[in-house]
Amino acid sequence: MRNNITKYFNLILIVAGFLIVSCDDRVPETTDSDMNLTLTTQPVAIDLSGNLINVGEDVSGILANTLVTASVLSDSNEAFENIEVNFSATLDGEGFGSFDSPTSLTNDNGVAHALLFDLNSSGTDIKIKAEIDGDISKTETITIVDTTEVWPYRLYVSVDNSQIFIDNGVTNSNISARILNYNYQPIENLEVSFELQPDGLGILTSSSANTDTSGIAQIQLIDTGNPEDVGTVTILSSYKHPSFGELDVSIYVSISSPSNLNLTLTTLPVGIDQQTVVGEDIVGEYAYTLVTALLKDQDGNPVAGKVISFNSSVNNQSSGSFNVSSGTTNSQGMVVVYFTDSGSAVDVSGTPTYEGVIVTGYYSNDVTASDGFNVYESQNDVWPYNLILFSDTDVINLDGGQTTATVTARLLNNQNDPAKFVAIAFDATKGFIDAIGITDSTGLVDVTFSDLGNPEDVGVANIEASFVHPSFGEITDNIQITIVDTAYSGTPAYLEIPSSYPSEIMVVGGGGSESTDICARVFDESGVLVDEPVSVTFTLGPNIPIGANINNIGTIDSSYTADGEACVSLNSGTGPGPIRVTAVLVYEGEEISATAIPVIIATGPPANIEAEYDPLNTLPVGGGYYQTEASAMVYDLWYNPVADS
């Protein structure tokens, strides 16, 4: 790693030196009053050839930098040449980093560049400034992250048409490659490369394209016009980060001879019940792949009564089988079969959509379609899934659905790959939410939450999203959204102490969690959480377990509410038992309180045992034997009785 870093550093010095030498000391020829200055920034990394490659973010250190570009144009977009531009960077009002060329002259296009080196510093509000003669200036704000936790990026590739024909470009397929960063946000201005395999069987309109604001780069596949250039082509999409590595994903399109019929093929992994769509196919009976062939005529009408045959391959070798090898299209033009793996996984680690198994449907030599998918080796490769639930707002009004919240669920497998086209169930304790949503190709699904106009809807709605895998079980996630009456008063009316999470902690040294939060929620008379911060005092007792305390202070402490909820930390001692808590707030001289038992302190693991028996209840049974009743008392390390287990 040290050798690689040294190479990068040397390359940066070379590029920096080149940029400095390229500047000169000529006096600007004009300072016309119609001079317009624009400023842009772009994170870049330097590859082994010394080229600047666009990346998603600037990283503290030498692995990535920020390229700053200033353009000086007239009102009529004519370039100003040899204008001196001064570059500077600040963070919290102090100078930040350094530029390879803090002063640069514009070229014949009116453009001046400078490369910002962060000097191993980072920040979230770094201001980049370009200035001309102290009179004209522009400022941009950038972020430099202080960790390499930015990789891997995610590359997703799709086509809008999996089959085109030899028709001189009348039919075509749009190939879309989308790049998301480590936090699943789209990255703009990244160059995606596209390669056609085998070369010459079709034509790509471009060998590369830059991602837009949605992180999408798009090109088009068309036919060559040669009747002999038919078959299945592979489009390999790739992006290479000079510092971290390369992503590549393959996708397939069939090129067929002109025909009045069009065959499409789709694949979906399903669970052991062969009905529930899951994230992926797995070796054995955990999951299968549902293959659907759809035959239509040139007008888009389904064609019934035609035989579709199927085969599957891995690296051009036959692999796996189907419940039936062929079938006749129904009235909807469809044939549905199930693919069963041959007991071996087909996947390449680190490529989220690498299609290892290729399934092909045939109506004739000229009418075919293909699709690809992975087969994972075991449950541990994909499970547990990760279900993440969030919303664009945490408050809506009681207005009969005029204001709504968009609730988004993201479902990822154990490799952080999206579970595509999976049904997520939603439920809400108040208001209304769509019961089912289907994830898209990135594992996301949006549903709408609204009120029903009933006064009973006012308050906090608990919203739950869930997914049940037929083979592995259920996962859930929850959020809360408050439905407020527009007549909200903001006056505290009552308190609630919810159960803590976790609601059971261990005595000190008991081998488990020894602390949890105790919270109190403050509501107005309409059951709406009070936004304004108020002080809530928490008191333990009476009869609290030995050593239990709040915030390591004692049995009494206070906290201010945030979004209507105040919390303190409860810590266990050496004694077990339930924790009785009283929360009190005083508002305009009036005391409001609530009491609950939100936490239980449990004993530690067994550490001592004592045997007992009663000699007075001993009976002779003959032959020199006696019968008596014996018992054993089990205690933890501090001689607290251990609960039944």
- The answer to whether position 626 is within a domain reads no
372/407 same-domain check = no
The single-letter code of the amino acid at 625 is: Y
236/188 same-domain check = yes
Write down the pLDDT at residue 353.
42
- The answer to whether position 638 is within a domain reads no
pLDDT in tens, 403-421: 999 999 999 998 888 898 9
Task: Please name which of 364, 311, 643 lies closest in space to residue 510, comparing C-alpha atoms.
Answer: 643
Per-residue tokens: 354 = 């690498």
Write the DSSP string, 224-276: -S-TT--EEEEEEEEEEETTTEEEEEEEEEEEE---SEEEEEEEEEEETTSSS
Write down the pLDDT at residue 3.
42
Half-sphere exposure of 342 (CA within 13 A, CB side): 10
Cα separations (Å) of 191 from 54, 216, 352? Answer: 7, 10, 19
Q: How confident is the model at residue 259 (pLDDT cuts 50, 70, 90)?
A: low
Q: The CATH number of the domain where 314 resides is what?
A: 2.60.40.10
pLDDT in tens, 504-562: 898 888 777 899 999 999 998 877 788 889 999 999 999 899 999 999 999 999 999 98
Write down the pLDDT at residue 89.
93
251/301 same-domain check = yes
More confident residue, 204 or 275: 204
Cα separations (Å) of 194 from 349, 355, 447, 645? Answer: 21, 17, 35, 61
More confident residue, 455 or 482: 482
Q: Report how many domains make up the chain.
A: 4
CB contact set of 507 (below 8 Å; sequence gap of 6+)? 514, 545, 572, 573, 574, 575, 576, 601, 602, 603, 604, 636, 638, 640
- The answer to whether position 310 is within a domain reads yes
478/415 same-domain check = yes
For the ranges 37-41, 94-98, 572-576, 641-645, the lowest mean pLDDT is seen at 641-645
7/124 same-domain check = yes
pLDDT in tens, 285-336: 788 888 999 998 877 888 888 899 998 888 777 778 888 888 899 999 999 9
Sheet with strand 208-210: strands edge to edge? 163-165, 245-256, 231-241, 191-197, 208-210
- The answer to whether position 623 is within a domain reads no
| Interval 100-107 mean pLDDT | 92
Domain boundary pick from 145, 176, 204: 145
Q: What is the DSSP letter of 617?
A: G
- The answer to whether position 622 is within a domain reads no
Write down the pLDDT at residue 7.
42
Q: How far apart are CA 201 and CA 223, in angstroms?
A: 8
Question: Cα 552 to chain center, whole Å?
Answer: 37
Q: What is the pTM of this model?
A: 0.49
Write down the pLDDT at residue 622.
81
Q: How confident is the model at residue 462 (pLDDT cuts 50, 70, 90)?
A: very high
298/345 same-domain check = yes
397/525 same-domain check = no
pLDDT in tens, 426-457: 999 999 999 999 999 889 999 999 998 888 88
State yes or no: pLDDT of 67 exceeds 60. yes
Question: Range of 573's domain?
Answer: 494-602
- The answer to whether position 425 is within a domain reads yes
443/369 same-domain check = no
229/282 same-domain check = yes
Half-sphere exposure of 473 (CA within 13 A, CB side): 8
Write down the pLDDT at residue 225.
84
275/330 same-domain check = yes
The single-letter code of the amino acid at 485 is: D
Mean pLDDT, the chain, as a whole number?
A: 85
Ranges of H-type helices in 379-505: none
Write down the pLDDT at residue 21.
40
Domain boundary pick from 145, 165, 194: 145
| Interval 224-232 mean pLDDT | 84
| Interval 498-506 mean pLDDT | 90
Domain boundary pick from 83, 111, 145: 145
175/270 same-domain check = yes
State yes or no: pLDDT of 183 exceeds 90. no
CB 270 within 8 A of CB 423: no
Half-sphere exposure of 190 (CA within 13 A, CB side): 31
State yes or no: pLDDT of 352 exceeds 70. no
pLDDT in tens, 612-628: 888 888 888 888 788 88
For the ranges 22-31, 163-172, 259-268, 424-433, the lowest mean pLDDT is seen at 22-31
180/306 same-domain check = yes
Half-sphere exposure of 397 (CA within 13 A, CB side): 7
pLDDT in tens, 357-387: 888 888 876 778 888 888 888 888 888 999 9
Q: Which helix (H) or strand (E) holds 552?
A: none
- The answer to whether position 609 is within a domain reads no
- The answer to whether position 467 is within a domain reads yes
Write down the pLDDT at residue 620.
83
Q: How confident is the model at residue 27 (pLDDT cuts 50, 70, 90)?
A: very low
Task: Please name which of 87, 102, 85, 41 lies closest in space to residue 67, comparing C-alpha atoms.
Answer: 41
Q: How far apart are CA 374 and CA 268, in angstroms?
A: 11
For the ranges 93-102, 225-234, 466-475, the lowest mean pLDDT is seen at 225-234
Write down the pLDDT at residue 157.
92
| Interval 253-280 mean pLDDT | 83
